[in-house]
Amino acid sequence: MKRNILYVSTMSFILVLSAVLYVSCSKQAASPKTQGDQVSRPAAITSFVHPGVINTTASLDYIGGQANSGNTDRLNAYQKVLDFVNSQSVPTSFYSTVVVGSNGDSSPSKDQIRRDAVLAYALALRWAKTGTATYAQQCIQILNGWAYTFQNYALKSSTTNQYQPSLEASWTTPSFVAAAEIMRYYKINGATGSGWSQTDINQFNNYLNNVKNNYINNTPVYNNNWNASMGYAKMAIGVFLNSATVYQNGYDAITQYMPIIIGSNGYINEMCDRNDCVHYQYSLTAFAYAAEIATIQGDNSLWTYNSSLLSKGYDFMRTAYTGAYCGVCSTSSPVFPGTEVANHHYNTANLNYLRGLQDPLGLTADKTFLGFTTYTHYNVSVSGF
């Protein structure tokens, strides 16, 4: 009898210990430090629309046609593209190592890759409008320059956040991809392509896999604009690589972090925590651009996700510009170009007010996100866009 009791007690202890270990391991597995390419559910998209990052063939045809026919509003918005291109020199040399610092601490290589990402996109838009081969060649020169030269990121100093390269890669890569999608797939008058060779495209694929695997996948869980930017970047990369896995992983990140970053009433802690009118717009812009990519791929759900949570976030932004929160936003504060993309879908009074503060919108001063969205999105109504 005592032997039976001892046996039952021993077995009970083993079962309890096993359960504790299982729960402990489960918790550890559910709380990774970084965001890899693991997918939580089967990918819904197996083939992609191209160009499919921010612009489509139909939207590029539409805005180019309007500008070329003398539409005043479109031409005024296109002037933002010209102003930027004309103020820059097309680079002939590139960095193998991009040195980055935290909290605005810059370097020549960091400045150039941010500038070049936006310049490549601006040149792609200019080529799509004009059909002038020189602009396509200049855009390709930038894409190839970085694809063949870049090797890695490095930290500027011992005080630099070790994960800063992941954020920098999440910012610049989608702008490069948006340009690359146009170079690879758009045709002038439906007939003439850019001339970007398959060999060069393959090298650009290698570049994307490098920055994705070694940097973007290592984004820490900060529950702020870092994670929003990571999700947007991976959706863009997934489109270009025709990878449903990468795309879906980015999409899942957007749906995971949107309700964390934007409260159910639209309030965004990032503004008051950071005490500026910029960082919370990083999140809103990444969400808006991610939603636009999904829309082009036939999925409007990010705009309506969680009772149109993104629209509520922009409602908060509108309220913030009245000085109601933290006192860091005013009518002279920057309005990020994602506002125009959000307005394209929501068309609310709040978003109309915001985009009207600096109409036409160009690009961010720090060149963290692509711009010129008044040219590409305002009053554009075409199928699948």
Tens-digit pLDDT profile for residues 29-55: 333 445 555 444 444 687 999 999 999
Amino acid type, 193: G
The pLDDT value recorded for residue 6 is 38
The pLDDT value recorded for residue 34 is 57
Residues with Cβ within 8 Å of 211's Cβ and at least 6 positions away in sequence, in order, are 150, 169, 173
The pLDDT value recorded for residue 37 is 52
Residues with Cβ within 8 Å of 333's Cβ and at least 6 positions away in sequence, in order, are 277, 321
Taking phi over 0 as left and psi of -120 to 50 as alpha, with beta for the rest, 233 belongs to alpha
For residue 93, what pLDDT band results from cuts at 50, 70 and 90?
very high
The pLDDT value recorded for residue 305 is 98
Read off φ and ψ for residue 308, nearest 5 degrees.
Answer: 55, 50
CA dihedral 140→141→147→150, nearest 10 degrees, is -150
Q: How many CB atoms lie within 10 A of CB 210?
A: 16
Q: What is the pTM of this model?
A: 0.90
What structural domains does the chain harbor? 35-377 (1.50.10.100)
Instruction: Tell me how many helices (H) and strands (E) the chain has.
Output: 15, 2
Classify burial at 284, counting beta carbons within 10 Å of its beta carbon; exposed 0-12, middle 13-18, buried 19 or more.
Answer: buried
Q: What is the token pair recorded at 179?
A: 């340009």
Q: What is the token pair recorded at 41?
A: 């559910």
Residues with Cβ within 8 Å of 330's Cβ and at least 6 positions away in sequence, in order, are 277, 321, 323
Task: Let me know: does 290 contact 254? Beta carbons within 8 Å.
Answer: yes
Express as a percent the part of the chain with pLDDT over 70.
89
| Helix (H) / strand (E) containing 116 | helix 108-130
Q: How far is CA 301 from CA 83, 124, 173, in A?
A: 35, 28, 24
Residues 290-296, mean pLDDT to the nearest whole number: 98
Long-range (24+ apart) CB contacts under 8 A made by 65-68 are 67/129, 67/375, 68/129
Residues with Cβ within 8 Å of 173's Cβ and at least 6 positions away in sequence, in order, are 117, 208, 211, 212, 216, 233, 236, 237
Mean pLDDT of the chain: 90
Q: What is the token pair recorded at 323?
A: 């000085």
For residue 153, what pLDDT band results from cuts at 50, 70 and 90?
very high
Chain-centroid distance, C-alpha 208? 14
Task: Let me know: does 107 contact 156? Beta carbons within 8 Å.
Answer: yes
CA distance 201 to 180: 9
Tens-digit pLDDT profile for residues 187-231: 999 999 999 999 999 999 999 999 999 999 999 999 999 999 999
Tens-digit pLDDT profile for residues 230-266: 999 999 999 999 999 999 999 999 999 999 999 999 9
